[in-house]
Chain A
């Protein structure tokens, strides 16, 4: 209840800040929407000019891609900003304040990281999923939602790791940049890439769980052993995120502000 109060208060502050620059907010969302429709646009052109992407009909691809935008959008809306905001706070000495507040740092950072600029991305993702034209079956839908949850948890764990990097190394712009470029691999199905890439995006940096495996689960293409492995990977990645964050908090040395 207290957590919800903190979250709502921060949401209110963020709303005020965002609305101070309304045109900027509108343009920002427009630019995100335009960049988000690039990959579906290329996919549509591929289906227009060729038999298509192997193993995927256009509808299936759109469900996959809508999921991708939705999960990245949700992460960007709720918790991904905590990484770069923490980097900034550590640099100017504001991070110390978070450590002395009567709320756990991980919870504080999670609840106060909303970025309203990403709302358009969340809505666009949902729209693409709903308009993809795939038929929703209750069992497949529940499997899809389960893996969607896994994808969100993976992104949350990644946010914790990036935040930890910001606490430990301060100047982490380059690490963020690498993650965004690696994130481009999530824009197309993992099945297109060679085995080392598939391994990397399943076991090392499980971006496959962001959209590929949820879509595969939706179409009933996952075997039970794979399902269990993926759930285990999600749990381990989350645990790793928490452990790394705890380690970073213990190793934190103030900037002296």
Chain B
């Protein structure tokens, strides 16, 4: 109960900065517009019906959903961990009646409570009405939600793992920026993975990152199977173990400096 209270408090605190949220709602359509114009011109110029198996509508839908999944799974805790360690606030978090991981998780849920009405819903509506994104069936929408939830948990655990490096490195914002850009590329945020040459695609398929974005989008198109579900759960378990391992060492490191 306390945990959900934390999520609600974070959401209402963040609502104090209303202008930020107006911006959150305005900016995604602009980002979609860049790719919309690019792909419309490419399809028209080549007289193409399909590119790598995607119709123009599918391609636009891919970019709309890329923003939606990005908003649902986005995590900004690494900078907070960095700041908490430098300022000493981490000690307060360690003494709360929940683990640091749990604290950050429910804080993150608080932001998500806002992201859904302020980014996800407007982006989807504008995607359908303005850019002609494709609707899907109800079962596919449920699958999309399920895989997005898994992606959110996985991205959270990965961020918590990378964030823990601040215990050793102190300044990690450049590393975090590098991580976010790499994840964006490897997860299929920039383009559908089908566009890649076969050899490179095989390499991308071996990595866990496609479950952060590409697979949830494929679920929306109804192109996922049980194996995707099982593999994504496997990767969540793996990232959970990484998080546990690194945070155990981080605690020791923190105590080691005299806390």
Q: Which residues of A contact B (CB under 8 A)?
A: 21, 23-25, 27-28, 30-31, 34-35, 38, 41-42, 45-46, 48-54, 174, 177-178, 181-182, 184-185, 187-188, 192-194, 197
Interface residues of B in 13-61 (CB under 8 A from A): 19-20, 23, 27, 30-31, 33-34, 37-38, 41-46, 48, 51-52
* Given known contacts A21-B171, A52-B45, A45 and B20 CB-to-CB distance under 8 angstroms: no
B31 touching A184, Cβ below 8 Å: yes
A233 to chain B, nearest CB (A): 22
| CA distance in complex: A49, B59 (Å) | 14
Q: Is B197 interfacial (CB 8 A cutoff)?
A: yes
| B42 neighbours in A (Cβ, 8 Å) | 46, 50, 52-54
Q: List 27 A-B pairs, Cβ < 8 Å.
A: A24-B173, A27-B175, A28-B174, A28-B177, A30-B174, A30-B178, A34-B178, A34-B185, A35-B181, A38-B181, A41-B185, A41-B190, A46-B42, A46-B195, A48-B195, A49-B195, A50-B42, A51-B45, A52-B42, A52-B46, A53-B45, A54-B42, A54-B45, A174-B20, A174-B23, A185-B30, A188-B37
| A30 neighbours in B (Cβ, 8 Å) | 174, 178
B23 touching A45, Cβ below 8 Å: no
If A38-B185, A50-B46, A192-B37 are given as contacts, then 11 extra A-B residue pairs at C-beta distance below 8 Å, sorted by A number, are: A31-B177, A35-B177, A35-B181, A46-B42, A46-B195, A52-B45, A53-B45, A54-B42, A174-B20, A174-B23, A188-B37
| B177 neighbours in A (Cβ, 8 Å) | 27-28, 31, 35
**Secondary structure at chain A's binding surface: helix, strand, loop or mixed?**
helix
- Total residues of chain B contacting the partner, CB 8 A: 35
A86 to chain B, nearest CB (A): 20
B255 to chain A, nearest CB (A): 24
The chain B residue with its CB closest to the CB of A47 is B42
| A174 neighbours in B (Cβ, 8 Å) | 19-20, 23
Q: Is B182 interfacial (CB 8 A cutoff)?
A: yes
| CA distance in complex: A222, B184 (Å) | 37
| A28 neighbours in B (Cβ, 8 Å) | 174, 177
The chain A residue with its CB closest to the CB of B184 is A38
Q: Which of B52, B174, B195 contacts A27 (CB 8 A)?
A: B174
| B182 neighbours in A (Cβ, 8 Å) | 34
Interface residues of B in 132-190 (CB under 8 A from A): 169, 171, 173-175, 177-178, 181-182, 184-185, 190
The chain A residue with its CB closest to the CB of B54 is A49
B23 touching A42, Cβ below 8 Å: no
A31 touching B27, Cβ below 8 Å: no
